Chains A and B, each alone.
Chain A
Amino acid sequence: MAIIETKGLTYTYPGATKPAIRDVSLTIEKGEFVILTGPSGCGKTTLCRCFNGLIPHFYAGQLEGELTVAGLKLTEHPIYEMAQRVGLVFQNPENQLFALSVEKDVAFGLENLGVPRDEIRKQVDWALQITGIEELRERAPHELSGGQQQRVAIACVLAMQPGVMVFDEPTSFLDPLGAQKIFEVINDLSKKLSVTVILVEHRLDLASKYADHVVIMDEGKIVLNGKPREIFNSETARLIGVGIPKATLLWQLLQENGIRLEGVPTSSEEAARLLREVLKT
């Protein structure tokens, strides 16, 4: 069942000469883990802002086409209604945390919705537990590391229990170890809570092993859309200049030299496994 459906979505920022996204038609099924990637300026961030209603309600500009998220038509509902179904975690952890303690920040969304206090308490405790940051409960956001801040930001969005969570380059400011931890948290949300995940990322080496659906954009249009292995393996991906996982690159090189592996790997563990099969013989 499709949870997000767009048809011919086109958007131009106010004062821009050309559209940031053009004729985007995309279907995302409930429970999928989608990776959205592409070169800088391809429109991925713009598309993310469409998913939760920031476009067109927060950013003016021209929007054409249709977008339905969890049964709601984008243009017909204000952001605060969309926000209950689609959560958005941004790139910079610092600028998503406003309160003076982690607890209060996580409660922020629920307070806005007018949820009764005991409910808020329960949801906050739950969100802190799932993201593994219970011990940070009373800390001030400024005292936390980037990775911790980002986990708080995730908890803040998670507390509202949206069915879909969109992450716009959440690991940009983190080191690889911090990035891995965030991907694990996101993966947990996907597998344990059946949240539909849309992850915008450049670091495909680290993230692609979690995805079951990959969308590549370039210059505002969707260029590739399908299963990770097909996409990363395609010539188009290489031409666009996306950072294809090294494991897949290796597979391609071996393929060119006549070495066949039992499948296309996207992670180093997979590649090691497949190579083992071939090397043992």
Chain B
Amino acid sequence: MSVFEGFRFRHVSSPIHRRDPRVKFLYVLVMFIAAVMFNELPVLLVLFFLQVPFVLVAGVQRQWLRSLRGAMFLVTFLFVFNLFFGYISPGTVPGGVSPLEYAFSMSLRFLVLVESFSVFFLTTSPDHLSLALEQSRVPYEFTFAFTTAVRFVPVLAEEAQTIMDAQKARGLELEKGNFMKRVRNYIPILIPLIVSAIRRSLELAEAMESRGWGAAKKRTNLYVLKIREADLMLIIISAILLATAVYVRYFVTIPSITMILSK
């Protein structure tokens, strides 16, 4: 589960944490587009290391590294997969690039994508996120569903634990038996969990209605997100990044590491 550790928000504050989530998301989107545009290892390496200053400023190095570790399984798989196919059908690998380098590029690209999202989620609290959704013209029903879901995740996790305890106390042994039996062992856990979730939603709906849900066509908001100078800077950085990426893509020939090494 350590890959999820890399996405969980912590109650810290830093210049990155304080940025408007919409602007941060724009930056992540730009990173995403840039990564998708390139196969070339040198560029991807640059993109990867570009994240590091943000991670350091935000102070989330440990969690970020943990999420890197968590993603390693998939990354290794991608690496082996691409290496294998790179040798089997040489047509898939672009000219002048060794299959090894190609495999590195593909797996690194995946890592860049995952890690840019990781930084986003590590530095954006769920309430900031929901605020951003609210103010981005997303219909309130969706934002509310999102926020409520996040709010109840720890509650449901605890409840699942309690249910497991309650059934273990009646002699249920989750680890016993063959595969089929083990799957069936989870029925006494899932059913109470589902029933409880349904009951809970009913109570929530009652509470929502009782507090004027649907009263006004246009909901107002206690908090409002404001774009500050630092946010503008991030927007400019993102714009520059995107422009540079486009320029490099169309006007610059990037030598591959293979070619550099063979010189």
Contact = CB atoms under 8 A, between A and B. Distances in A.
Is there direct touching of A and B in the complex, by C-beta distance under 8 Å? Answer: yes
B209 A54 contact: yes
Interface stretch (B15-23, B86-94, B216-224): B216-224
Interface in A52-102: 52, 54, 57-58, 78-81, 83-84, 87-88, 90, 92, 94-101
Given A100-B127, A120-B222, A113 B212 contact: yes
B154 interface: yes
Given A58-B205, A95-B204, A157 B127 contact: no
Interface in B181-217: 200, 203-217
Contact of A90 (B130, B150, B207, B223): B207
Contacts of B204: 95-96, 98
Interface residues of A, number: 45
B144 interface: yes
Contacts of B209: 54, 57-58, 79-80, 83
Contact of A112 (B127, B154, B215, B224): B215
Given A95-B200, A98-B148, A100-B150, A83 B219 contact: no
Contacts of A79: 209-210, 213
B147 interface: yes
Given A99-B151, A100-B151, A142-B151, A108 B211 contact: yes
A27 B180 CA distance: 61
A111 B213 contact: no
A96 B207 contact: yes
B210 A98 contact: no
Interface in A101-134: 101, 103-104, 107-117, 120-121, 124
B118 to A, nearest CB: 21
A253 B222 CA distance: 57
Nearest to A100: B127
B126 interface: yes
Nearest to B159: A94
Contacts of B205: 58
A83 B212 CA distance: 6
B218 A114 contact: yes
B146 to A, nearest CB: 11
Contacts of A94: 155
B219 A112 contact: yes
Nearest to B221: A111
A223 to B, nearest CB: 27
A95 B207 contact: yes
Contact of B212 (A58, A84, A92, A124): A84
A141 interface: yes
Interface of B: 125-127, 130, 144, 147-148, 150-151, 154-155, 200, 203-224
27 contacts: A49-B206, A79-B209, A80-B209, A90-B207, A92-B203, A95-B207, A98-B151, A98-B207, A99-B127, A100-B125, A100-B147, A101-B127, A104-B127, A107-B222, A110-B220, A111-B220, A112-B211, A112-B214, A114-B217, A114-B219, A114-B220, A116-B220, A117-B221, A120-B222, A142-B154, A160-B211, A160-B212
